[in-house]
Structure 1
């Protein structure tokens, strides 16, 4: 785990692949809870029998936005940012989904600090995010996540 206490430490990591999270299994129960929360009950996600019989992946798959929503959880396994009075998920940029995440797959986030800027006291950090699937060579997605921090 990388510990970041201030802007200077963050800036020193610019361009660095800071690490990977632990592996997280996305099971059908998590997919179903996400479907309920987002009202997205498309059969490819929530109907295992139909997905096996008729689906292109022969199993249900996680919603793409479910995999994106794991970023804060997985990011905090890689980096601990201390001494902040405010942390904001500011945006996502240039995201592309590569391959689907099948039910019961294990995923891990790889994070690279792309840029760090001090905007008059607000630190804007762009993190390159790549979600890997255990046993697959291609990532589930790649893109940039933008965080804003106010250090104490």
Structure 2
């Protein structure tokens, strides 16, 4: 049996289970400022701590939603080991994505993944669908919930 078929069988047996919880990452003001600079999104709620403390209900700056989402790749490294015969993983997009709670500067976040579906697309590719929740330490409402698609690409034959 090919490596991809073994992986498919193993993953199908894990559907509906939590496949990983990532390590915590602190989203500090330096990270927010760097993201703002790289993306040219310097809205004051992200980069002006004094004004954000004065004029928002958050008590200070908050991370960009897309910054929080961009941490998903790091969280995936923590949670998805390379499968036997797999040569790479590729981000394939999202079916659903909702930002539920802002991430305040200084907060810690982590990803949590539940395998929802896996299909064999061809001789080298498995398409995995995971529900990813990015949690904020100490808060009941997560920062975001997404249905994330990823390809596990295997060596030929």
Instruction: Return the alpha-carbon distance in structure 1 between the equivalents of residues 63 and 119 of structure 2.
Output: 34
Aligned match of 1:79: 80
Instruction: Return the alpha-carbon distance in structure 2 between the equivalents of residues 87 and 106 of structure 1.
Output: 26
- Higher relative strand content: 1
Q: Which moved more, 1:84-93 or 1:62-71?
A: 84-93
Flag structure 2 segments of 5+ consecutive residues without an equivalent: 1-5
Q: Shift of residue 72 of structure 1?
A: 1.0
Q: Shift of residue 8 of structure 1?
A: 2.5
Check whether the contact 1:7–1:151 (CA below 8 A) recurs between aligned residues.
no
Superposition map of 1:1-152 within 5 A: 6-82=7-83, 83-121=85-123, 122-152=125-155
TM-score (norm 1): 0.92
Q: Which moved more, 1:11-20 or 1:118-127?
A: 11-20
Q: Which moved more, 1:9-18 or 1:92-101?
A: 9-18
Q: Shift of residue 58 of structure 1?
A: 1.2
Please state whether the residue corresponding to 1:14 is helix, strand or coil: coil
Instruction: Return the alpha-carbon distance in structure 2 between the equivalents of residues 8 and 23 of structure 1.
Output: 31
Q: What is the RMSD of the two structures over their aligned residues, measured on CA atoms? A: 1.5
The size of the alignment, in residue pairs, is 149
Check whether the contact 1:131–1:142 (CA below 8 A) recurs between aligned residues.
yes
Flag structure 1 segments of 5+ consecutive residues without an equivalent: none
Q: Shift of residue 149 of structure 1?
A: 1.7
